[in-house]
């Protein structure tokens, strides 16, 4: 049976996967290093699958690691959370999927109409369904909110995962154009129905510093090299 652990080194976190004649699916580029009798198998997709990946920006190939040994995934200053699915369907934010057991199917989810464009979530996200463990990446600790015929309004794109049973749409925070102008609130993400939502309201400090100053360093480097 696969065992998923999160290891912390120098404030960074790595996912450690212990395998005993097992298989695990990985996000493309997620493998860091591995020890033991392990092999990566990256099968080429069908023509239809490849063309779909071009449209959705989903990875065309998600390699499968097979065998017995220990596998480490790429480190992050954010957080890793393991979902234990039992015949469920979840919609994950773009970039949140990291690894999963083979009983979990990974596909692209199309946001309806133009809601994805205005919400900051993008037109396409990742859908996972089935049974097994899924490793999810976020920039900070996750908070779970359970809804029962209820509504959750989020001002920002920090919904990391949501039950596929929930209705997702973008709406104005206030009624009327004048109210929107004077309130300073624009569009918000609204989730309604029955299901669960995982949000990441606050980034880890290390993750925040990397995102902010890492981008600044890249910008300065580009200016210097011109």
User: Can you name the CATH fold of 3-224?
Assistant: Double-stranded beta-helix (3.60.160)
Quick: pLDDT tens for 186-197: 688 899 999 999
- Strand extents, DSSP E, 155-218: 159-163, 167-172, 187-199
| Dihedrals phi, psi of 175, to nearest 5 degrees | -85, 135
Domain boundaries, the chain: 3-224
Asked whether 25 and 64 are in contact (CB, 8 A), the reply is yes
Quick: pLDDT tens for 10-25: 889 999 999 999 999 9
Quick: pLDDT tens for 25-60: 999 999 999 999 999 997 754 434 444 444 444 455
Quick: pLDDT tens for 138-191: 999 999 999 999 999 998 778 999 999 999 988 766 554 444 444 445 688 899
Separation of first and last alpha carbons in the chain: 52
């Amino acid at each position: 049976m696969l065992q998923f652990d999160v290891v912390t080194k120098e404030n960074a976190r790595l996912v450690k996967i212990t395998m005993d004649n097992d298989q695990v699916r990985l996000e493309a580029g997620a493998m860091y290093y591995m020890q033991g009798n392990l092999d990566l198998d990256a099968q080429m997709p069908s023509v239809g699958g490849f063309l779909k990946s071009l449209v959705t920006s989903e990875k065309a190939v998600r390699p499968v690691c097979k065998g017995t040994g220990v596998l480490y995934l790429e480190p992050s200053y954010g957080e890793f959370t393991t979902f234990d699915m039992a015949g469920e369907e979840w919609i994950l934010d773009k970039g949140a999927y990291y690894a999963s057991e083979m009983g979990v199917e990974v596909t692209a989810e199309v946001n309806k109409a133009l809601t994805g464009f205005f919400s900051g979530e993008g037109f396409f996200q990742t859908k996972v369904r089935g049974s097994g463990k899924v490793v999810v990446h976020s920039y900070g600790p996750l908070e779970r909110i359970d809804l029962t015929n209820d509504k959750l309004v989020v001002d920002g794109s920090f919904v990391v995962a949501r039950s596929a049973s929930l209705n997702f749409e973008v709406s104005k925070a206030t009624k009327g154009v004048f109210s929107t102008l004077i309130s300073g609130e624009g569009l918000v993400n609204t989730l309604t129905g029955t299901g669960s939502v995982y949000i990441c309201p606050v980034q880890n400090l290390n993750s925040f510093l990397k995102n902010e100053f890492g981008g600044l360093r890249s910008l300065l480097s580009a200016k210097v090299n011109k």
